[in-house]
Amino acid sequence: DSKHRARNGWQMFTPELARRQQDRMQIETQLRRAVDNEEFRLVYQPQVDLRHGRVVAAEALIRWQNHQLGELRPDLFISHAETTGDIVRIGSWVLREACRQVAEWRDQGLGIVRVAVNVSYRQFVGEDLAEKVRSLLIEFDLPGSALELEFTERVLIEDAPATLRTFADLRAMGVVLTIDDFGEGYSALNYLRRLPIHGLKLSQLFTEGVPNNRSDVAVCQAVSAIARSLGLGLVAEGVESEAQRQFLLQLGVPVGQGFLFAPGLSPDEFARRLDTPLERASIA
Ligand code: C2E
Ligand code: MG
Ligand code: MG
Ligand code: MG
């Protein structure tokens, strides 16, 4: 009966809620010091040409190792960092580290490489992101084309007055601009015409269901058609199987990223993958 459920509800719910609240406070306290304590590192996931597996770029993904909390995935702490504002410092660290790393790879003669960095909407607000990027490119002697910035549709929803200007400045430097997780969010097609972006990343929400789920297939086809007709690049996220690779290839999606090719790799592992063509390493 309802009384029983209510009592059960209390017994089950309160400690759980309290624990979660405590977890959250602990995460936020530890986050504040994490940059200074050098608890972050970046791993690099290859983006590959779906035809033959050649690596075309790397996406930098943050990892957090904390003495109390262990290793935390970004999905667990990025949103906290956005709430507290710590994401601005963390994001600056990520940008700097990614630039340092790609400059090192280039100095080692490893050819390519472009590194894609995830940028939070908070880094667009009250922050001169374009100036920050400009000085990093100078410091590490990099062309703008060595850097790609991935942002989500959230940036466009916030619609900070300076955002369009920031995009224009970054583009003028040659920095590659991409909308991440495309299709998951608010997807006003209107902004695709107005923004000086280069490409879209098809959300793994939709890659996941191909080639069998009919509505996922439809979304992938639609996004691919939009990208093609607007002259935008397209990267499929979350490619896990050969069947998915084949399907996306047939759709005309040029580039993919996912566990079929590699997870996020340490810098050394990534450099080794550049030496070993993925067509031999992964694709039969
Ligand atoms: P994202 O930018 O969409 O990154 C892709 C996520 O999908 C990564 O999770 C990656 O490890 C995972 N992934 C890659 N291939 C596959 C696959 O084949 N199958 C499946 N199931 N997953 C795959 P990760 O590293 O946990 O990052 C999660 C999210 O956290 C990222 O999603 C991004 O939004 C955010 N994030 C990561 N690093 C940063 C950062 O430095 N700054 C900011 N602001 N956000 C970050
Ligand atoms: Mg991303
Ligand atoms: Mg994504
Ligand atoms: Mg995502």
3-state class (DSSP) for residue 274: helix
Residues with Cβ within 8 Å of residue 143, at least 6 apart in sequence: 137, 174
Neighbours of ion ligand 2 (CB under 5 A): 118, 150, 180
CA 239 → CA 50, 155, 177, 202, 227, distances in Å? 10, 25, 21, 11, 18
Helix axes 163-172, 129-139, angle to 10 degrees: 20
Atom of ligand 1 nearest to the CA of 62: 38
Percent of the residues in the chain that have a pLDDT greater than 70, as a whole number: 90
User: Over 70: is that where the pLDDT of 3 sits?
Assistant: no
Q: Which ligand is nearest to the CA of 182?
A: 3
Answer yes or no: is the C-beta of 62 below 6 A from any ligand 1 atom.
yes
pLDDT of residue 110: 85
Q: What is this model's ipTM?
A: 0.98
Arithmetic mean of pLDDT over the chain: 89
User: Over 90: is that where the pLDDT of 212 sits?
Assistant: yes
Nearest-angstrom CA–CA distance, 208 and 238: 7
Q: What is the mean pLDDT of residues 83-98?
A: 96
Q: Which ligand is nearest to the CA of 60?
A: 1
SS (H, E, C) 38-71: CCEEEEEEEEEECCCCCEEEEEEEEEEEECCCEE
pTM tops 0.80, yes or no: yes
User: Over 90: is that where the pLDDT of 192 sits?
Assistant: no
**Is the Cα dihedral 164, 167, 171, 177 positive or negative?**
negative
pLDDT of residue 112: 66
Kindly state the tokens that stand for 248: 């996306």
